[in-house]
Structure 1
Amino acid sequence: MDQLFDASEGERAARPQAPGSVPRDQAPLAARLRPARLEDVVGQRHLLDEGMALRIAIERGRPHSMLLHGPPGTGKTTLARIVAASADATFEELSAVEAGRAEVRGVLERASHRLAGHGGRTVLFLDEIHRFNKAQQDVLLPAVEEGLVVLIGATTENPYFEVNAALLSRTQVYELHELSADDLEVLLRRAVDQGATGGHAVEDAALSFLADRSHGDARTALQALELAAATAPEGAPITLEAAEDALQRRALRYDRAGDLHYDTISAWIKATRGSDPDASLYYLAVMLEGGEDPRFIARRMVILASEDIGNADPTALTVAVAAAHAVDHVGMPEAAYALSQAAIHLSLAPKSKEAYHALNRARRDVRERGALAPPPHLRPGARSASADGEGYDDPHAHPGHLSPQQLMPDALVGERFYRPDGQEAEFAARLELIRAARERD
């Protein structure tokens, strides 16, 4: 694989070592087995099958700036390296966790010298690009727009929320999916065939277990296999029990980019939804002590406030948004108290999923029937209602601010998307009064 990324001696001298680079024989198994050719990549067929746009661009050696987002261990770094190799471009790698504007400018200066010297192209791979704030991301804009570098940003977060609009408009966004258990088993067997287990045979049950329990993360599966091999008695095969132990040992350490990250936030969501403030606080503490990005936690709180509580307690969304605001404007460690306050409030708030269900009902109707035209009197420019009832009837002209005028498209008159449940008694009573008043008029 190294040979695919070789450059001239002068180029190698100018090229910085990737963050955390170590000699190949000391690198983790996932790094040593990283595919260097497109045909060796496992998974992501929706992007890399024959005839797909990204595959064609890679095969033709025509790289373009892109954002790769998806769960950990799905091949973002691998794909970035293959893009650079296919274009015979210099691969510069930075981590947004450690790098700042100075490091980015250093890459851009080298790219400029490279381009001016012999026309060489540069691929800048920026891992965890969502960690850069707007000002840091803005530094990249001129270089991307002018073609000085091909930017490949990688993130586990939704780029439409985490990357500024100007940079988004200059890149193509590709979503990478979790690898299937079958994909992971292919990778694990490839590792065994290439001697990664140091001569230890591996039971089929052990391979299947690692493939099934690694949550689509190739790095998790390969690191667990490596640990199982390192701790197996000399000459003994790697058994199912050894694989179980290896995967469990790895999970004892909280990894913001690993499977425990997803397990813990899932547990927090379920504990909070289940109205257990103690469990909610515990999982919140696990995430904070593990160094989880507090913005990630705050976003999940905002989502839960609407999805699982909704109008059963409208203040829950206000509390969650305020906690997110505190994270942005107060910062850690003090913002942790706002997260704690929000977790307790969300846990003890009455629960309702009706806001979630109501929107899904409406969206399902739109998908099935299409977007129906609103009544003419609701469209822009409609005149005020006349004595014959035509035109827009302003509800503020009526007692109780209610007009009997039809507001739904004709085909949807009488449709009920919102069906308040028992926890939304105030809204249910208000809705009943509104409907009764309209029917009387």
Structure 2
Amino acid sequence: MDRLFAPDPDDGTPTSGGGASLPADAPLAARLRPATVEDVVGQAALLGEGRPLRAAIDSGTPHAMLLHGPPGSGKTTLARIVADAAGAAVEALQAVDAGKAEVRAALQRARERRASSGTPTVLFIDEIHRFNRTQQDALLPAVEEGLVTLIAATTEPPWAAVSPALRSRLRIYRLRALAEADVLVLLRRAMERRLLDRDGEQVRADDDALELLASRSAGDARTALGALEAATGLARAAAATVAGEVDGPAASAPVAKGSADGQPANDTATNDTATDDTATDAPDPPPARPARTVRVTGRQASAALDRTVIAAGPDQPHDLLSAYIKSIRGSDPDAAVYYLAGMLAAGEDPRTIARRLVVSASEDVGLADPYALPMAIAAAEVVDRIGMPECRIALSHVTIRLALAGKSSAAYRAINDALEHVAEHGVDAPPPYLRGKISDGARPQDYDYPHANPGGFSDQELLPPALADHRFLQPAPHETVLLERLAAARRGRGRKP
């Protein structure tokens, strides 16, 4: 179990605003994490006065919720603030490495805590989309009986991240990627609070360095602050090199002659027979060394951005994925490969891309190319078996193949039309000769076996009587091959094309 909050929830102690102090070497993002809702930057739509989430924080009465949004948008911070405001103990789990045993243990501690002291418990589960449906539904009893207040976080859309049963019991809040100006506020706050300073040095950052980090972080505060910390390390190393401090700042400290520790020699002051006047006439201490300035430049800020960040707006991951699929649908392999590269470089899970390829193979290529779907499934298998970086080649292969393939949405439209009809009218019973042998009213002896007929066709009606003239499959005018095959099948069955 990953302890994200302090104090330790095992002792049943409620959290307190701000939590325990963090060590100086803790990540900058952790040391700068807001402790109160007033310190949170961005998310005004969620935290404005009178908004439900703000009201829950102000009143100290949290409710079960799902926080979803891109990385670095403040999901963990808000979960912590909600728990602090309620005076609740916190059980924090990372779904990526927590199993049934960890969940059961957390719920048992919550049960014991409630029985012994009445202290409420907030169960925070990060990356809940990593739990399968069975694991998620196992949380239902604890949520329904109020044993814990569940706060879940995910970067995935709610419908994909959480099972319907659990999702129906959660209030869903969508966090947006931070605006560039919001990220810049956080970077300046880190500098103003001197969180990067060390003894004997002051860190300063050029405005263009901070602006570069803010503009290239794609609204991810954690990325921006981590890059600022890395840029400071680069600047610190550069300053030490210029000063000749190969072994660190202390290596270049001036040492006074006559003393190994840098103190001036003074035989009189250390003479056992010295007079009082002589003994009190100690030399002045050496002047304090001025604090060294470490300057973070735009060049160092750029070098510190150790991964590609695509400035694609506040919903970067979903925007790129959307543009990718639409480029395949639009038969533009260059655009499709470009967006594929952008997603991979920005850290998108290749399994997500593979799933979308499989969908596109049926939705966009469909009946125009029968090999598209098997190829997409093969690419998904390569992703599972081989992984990055090699699976990028298979993804590119199939991306280009689908972009250049013929396009047909006939299958997509046919199932949607059929589902819409069923939703409105229900499902009519099949004709008696199509029913199973054990069904009431079945007449299997009347079934006309097509393979026994010339051409392999039967003119027997296969739709329910009320739908005899209904057409769900309606190819587009340009789908000439499909239209010809459909017309031939309908003529063989004695129907109008």
Pairwise same-fold verdict (TM > 0.5): yes
Q: What amino acid is the match of 1:53?
A: P
Report the Cα offset of residue 180 of structure 1.
0.6
**What's 1:48 paired with?**
47
Residue correspondence of structure 1 range 175-214 to structure 2 within 5 A:
175-198=174-197, 199-214=202-217
Structure-2 change in CA distance of 1:169 and 1:278 (3 Å)? closer
Q: Does 1:244 align with 2:302?
A: yes
8 Å contact 1:265–1:283 — kept in the other structure?
no
Change (3 A) 1:13 1:149: closer
Report how far residue 283 of structure 1 moved.
5.3
Counterpart among 291, 299, 306 of residue 355 in structure 2 = 299
Give the Cα separation in 2 of the matches to 1:150 and 1:42.
25
Matched residue, 1:333: 385
Q: Please state how far the C-alpha of 1:41 moved relative to its aligned partner.
A: 0.7
**Contact persistence 2:337–2:396 (CA under 8 A):** no
| Whole-Å separation in 2 of the counterparts to 1:101 and 1:70 | 26
Whether the aligned pair in 1 keeps the contact of 2:9 and 2:89 (CA below 8 Å) is no
Alpha-carbon distance change, 263 to 225 in structure 1, aligned in 2, over 3 angstroms: farther
Provide the rounded CA distance (Å) in 1 between the counterparts of 2:152 and 2:350. Answer: 21
Rg larger for: 2
Secondary structure of 2:295's aligned partner: coil
Q: Per-residue CA shift, 1:177-233, capped at 9, x if unaligned? A: 111111111111111111133222222212111111110100011111111111113
SS of match in other structure, 2:195: coil
Cα drift, residue 394 of structure 1: 5.7
Q: What is the deviation of 1:304? A: 3.8
Does structure 1 conserve the Cα–Cα contact (< 8 Å) formed by 2:344 and 2:350? no
RMSD: 4.8
Q: Which residue of 1 aligns with 2:139?
A: 140
Give CA deviations for 1:80-109 in whole Å, capped at 9, x if unaligned.
000100000012211111111111111111
Deviates more, 1:228-237 or 1:93-102: 228-237
Query: 1:131, 1:215 → 2: CA distance?
Result: 24
Kindly tell me: are residues 286 and 82 of structure 1, through their superposed partners in 2, closer, same or farther at Cα, counting changes over 3 Å? Answer: closer
Contact 2:351-2:384 within 8 A present in 1 as well:
no
For 2:175 and 2:102, how far apart are their aligned partners in 1?
27
Alignment partner, residue 217 of structure 1: 220
2:348 is equivalent to residue 348 of structure 1: no
1:12 Cα deviation after fit: 5.7
Residue 323 of structure 1 contacts residue 339 of structure 1 at CA under 8 Å; is this kept in 2?
A: no
Alignment of 1:360-439 (within 5 A): 396=468, 424-426=479-481
After TM superposition, give the deviation of residue 137 of structure 1 in Å: 1.7
The answer to whether the 8 A contact 2:336-2:399 is kept is no
Q: Structure 1 residues 145 and 285 mapped into 2: Cα distance closer, same or farther (>3 Å)?
A: closer
Equivalent residue letter for 2:12: E
1:150 to 2:149 alignment: yes
Structure 1 distance, partners of 2:115, 2:207, is 54
Between Structure 1 and Structure 2, which shows a larger proportion of helix residues? 1
Q: Which letter does structure 2 place at the counterpart of 1:11?
A: G
Query: Which residue in 2 is equivalent to 1:228?
Result: 231
Q: Distance in 1 between matches of 2:218 and 2:391?
A: 31
CA contact (8 A) 2:69 2:176 kept: yes
1:396: how far off?
A: 3.7
Shift in CA distance, 113/296, structure 1 to aligned 2, threshold 3 Å: same
Shift in Å, 1:151 = 1.0
Partner in structure 1 of residue 274 of structure 2: none
Counterpart-to-counterpart distance in 1, 2:42 and 2:112: 37
Rounded to whole Å, the distance in 2 between the matches of 1:335 and 1:213 is 27
Partner of 1:11: 12
Say if 1:312 and 1:196 are closer, same or farther in 2 by CA, change over 3 A.
farther
1:24 deviates by 3.0
Structure-2 change in CA distance of 1:34 and 1:181 (3 Å): same
- Secondary structure, in 3 states, of the residue corresponding to 1:201? strand
Q: Give the drift of 1:381.
A: 11
On the 8 A contact 1:197/1:225 being kept in 2, the answer is: no
CA contact (8 A) 1:301 1:343 kept: no
Q: What one-letter code is carried by the residue in structure 2 that aligns with 1:187?
A: L
Corresponding residue for residue 442 of structure 2: none
How far has the Cα of 1:5 moved from its partner? 5.3
- What's the secondary structure of 1:67's corresponding residue? strand
**How far is 1:354 from its partner?**
7.9
| 1:88 and 2:87 aligned | yes
Distance 1:278 1:215 in 2: 21
- CA distance in 2 between partners of 1:22 and 1:291 (Å): 31
Output the CA distance in 2 between the equivalents of 1:5 and 1:186: 26
Q: Aligned in 2, Cα 1:72/1:9: closer, same or farther, shift over 3 Å?
A: closer
SS of 1:161 mapped into structure 2:
helix
Q: Deviations over 1:364-384 (max 9, x none)?
A: xxxxxxxxxx9xxx96799xx
* TM-score, reference length from structure 1: 0.68
In structure 1, the partner of 2:438 is none
Identical-residue share of aligned pairs (%) = 46
